């Protein structure tokens, strides 16, 4: 009989960092198999924060789909993976429900690699429009493209699927996955609440056209495109060959599966690794230093009680004077080692994560110098935000309790060590 340890008793450990370029190269070459369980045996990624829930828009800030996109865009520089995968799942669902206007007679309309290279420069100029539409969060209806309206519509469709407007309401309830409504309008169901709209309307709702499929192929699959996917050449050539004969999403599924593997086993791990942390590097360093100082203060207090005013002046129970210092000190250090600030964890607050600072205007101190920039990012100066994702709050409370428990065990051990030292014996006069 196998005894399963409750999740709240399992020690949380940050996921290991994986370099997206290195991992993609290994996966493409077949020298490293994709991990079957990115959470690992130690439960470093809770089930409620798995990639599938994020892609289904069932999580809230700072673990939402939009946060994941911003991380990929500004930290990992692989946003094209999420853009393509989200579009593919939308296209696959639309194709299955008969909401596409792609016909068999259009088989030959897909451009070859040589024919499409002439249009790559045009796509590069217009990719800036898509980046601005997601980073600055404007209304997709306000977008305009003079040179290629089909490209603008495709980019805006992808932008709307990842838009920050689909964030969860304050209640944190996110029951609905990505769906297509029965009225045959392409919609993404967002978090339902009385204070938030039930659906997010996409730009120009309607069937996906063959031109949009051609646009996506040229934008993501043709060699040399700015959003070219980092995929094996064999996958690319086979997909382009199959799409010359059929418009079925099955032709793109091997590529989508490869991209999903990169997202699941590499990008998502790194995203959770950063997202679980609630403080900046500067804040965590200060908190960890405070923890070390508390440990040293505990030793100093006990030694002073043992030898001052003279050896044997106090009873052995004075060793408990160092317990609070050791307890708090190690609790701060254990939290810091897992990327969190102990004090912020107590109040379910966090500082802005690295990708969120690209959405917000830094203070004037950020341009004044390195020291002032670091000082402005300390907890007492930086803006503190509420953690909306309830499962992340639960995980961070788990980190707090584990840190406190670890600190208490450490402090008790040291008290026991000092109690049995001979320095507490009375001196015979």
In 347-401 the beta strands, taken as DSSP E runs, fall at 349-351, 384-386
Q: What is the pLDDT of residue 310?
A: 81
Cβ distance 274 to 281 under 8 Å?
no
Question: Same domain, yes or no, for 267 and 374?
Answer: no
Question: Same domain, yes or no, for 260 and 303?
Answer: no
Question: Same domain, yes or no, for 406 and 270?
Answer: no
Residues 179 and 135: their CA atoms lie apart, in Å, by 24
CB-based contacts of 328: which residues, under 8 Å, 6+ apart? 291, 294, 407
Question: Same domain, yes or no, for 81 and 52?
Answer: yes
- pLDDT, one tens digit per residue, over 236-260 is 999 999 988 888 899 999 999 999 9
- R_g over Cα of the chain: 27
Burial class of residue 416, CB neighbours in 10 A (0-12, 13-18, 19+): exposed
Regarding pTM above 0.95, the answer is no
Q: Is residue 407 part of a domain?
A: yes
Its domain, for residue 24, covers 20-276
Q: State the pLDDT confidence band at 190, using cuts at 50, 70 and 90.
A: very low
Question: Same domain, yes or no, for 87 and 233?
Answer: yes
- pLDDT, one tens digit per residue, over 105-117 is 444 444 444 444 4
Domain closes at, from 276, 294, 329: 276
Residues 303 and 252: their CA atoms lie apart, in Å, by 69
CB-based contacts of 345: which residues, under 8 Å, 6+ apart? 278, 335, 396, 397, 399, 400
Q: Is residue 115 part of a domain?
A: yes
Structure tokens at 356: 């969120």
Run of H or E including 299: helix 281-307
- pLDDT, one tens digit per residue, over 326-350 is 999 999 999 998 888 888 888 888 8
Higher confidence at residue 2 or residue 343? 343
Structure tokens at 157: 């469709």
- pLDDT, one tens digit per residue, over 176-189 is 334 333 333 333 33
Query: For the ranges 64-68, 124-128, 404-408, which has the lowest average pLDDT?
Result: 124-128
Question: Same domain, yes or no, for 254 and 351?
Answer: no
Terminal C-alpha separation, the chain: 63
Q: State the pLDDT confidence band at 5, using cuts at 50, 70 and 90.
A: low
Burial class of residue 337, CB neighbours in 10 A (0-12, 13-18, 19+): middle
Cβ distance 86 to 161 under 8 Å?
yes
Q: Is residue 429 part of a domain?
A: no
**Total number of domains in the chain:** 2
């Amino acid at each position: 009989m196998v005894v399963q340890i409750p999740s709240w008793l399992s020690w949380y450990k940050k996921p290991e960092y994986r370099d997206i370029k290195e991992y993609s190269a290994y996966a493409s070459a077949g020298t490293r198999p994709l991990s079957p369980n990115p959470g690992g045996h130690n439960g470093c990624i809770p089930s409620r924060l798995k990639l599938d829930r994020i892609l289904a828009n069932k999580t809230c800030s700072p673990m939402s789909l939009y946060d994941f996109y911003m991380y990929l865009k500004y930290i990992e520089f692989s946003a094209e993976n999420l853009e393509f995968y989200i579009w593919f799942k939308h296209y696959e669902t639309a194709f299955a429900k008969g909401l596409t206007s792609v016909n068999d007679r259009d088989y030959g309309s897909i451009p070859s690699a040589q024919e499409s290279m002439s249009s790559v420069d045009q796509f590069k100029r217009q990719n800036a429009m898509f980046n601005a539409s997601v980073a600055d969060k404007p209304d997709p209806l306000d977008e305009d493209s003079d040179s290629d309206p089909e490209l603008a519509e495709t980019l805006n469709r992808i932008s709307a699927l990842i838009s920050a407007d689909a964030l969860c309401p304050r209640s944190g309830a996110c029951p609905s996955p990505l769906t297509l409504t029965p009225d045959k309008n392409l919609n993404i169901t967002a978090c339902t609440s009385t204070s938030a709209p039930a659906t997010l309307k996409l730009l120009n709702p309607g069937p996906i056209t063959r031109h949009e499929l051609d646009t996506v192929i040229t934008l993501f699959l043709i060699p040399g495109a700015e959003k070219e996917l980092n995929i094996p050449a064999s996958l690319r050539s086979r997909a382009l060959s199959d799409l010359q004969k059929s418009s079925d999403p099955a032709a793109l599924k091997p590529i989508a599966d490869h991209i999903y593997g990169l997202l699941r086993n590499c990008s998502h791990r790194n995203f959770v690794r950063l997202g679980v942390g609630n403080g900046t590097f500067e804040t965590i360093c200060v908190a960890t230093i405070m923890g070390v100082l508390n440990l040293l203060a505990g030793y100093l207090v006990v030694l002073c009680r043992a030898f001052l005013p003279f050896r044997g002046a106090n009873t052995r129970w004075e060793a408990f004077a160092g317990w609070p210092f050791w307890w708090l000190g190690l609790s701060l250090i254990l939290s810091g080692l897992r990327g969190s600030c102990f004090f912020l964890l107590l109040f379910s607050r966090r500082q802005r994560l690295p990708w969120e600072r690209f959405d917000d205007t830094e203070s004037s101190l950020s341009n004044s110098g390195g020291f002032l920039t670091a000082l402005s990012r300390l907890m007492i100066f930086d803006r503190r935000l509420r953690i909306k994702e309830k499962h992340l709050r639960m995980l961070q409370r788990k980190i707090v309790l584990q840190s406190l428990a670890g600190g208490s065990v450490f402090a008790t051990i040291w008290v026991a060590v000092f109690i049995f030292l001979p320095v507490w014996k009375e001196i015979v006069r």
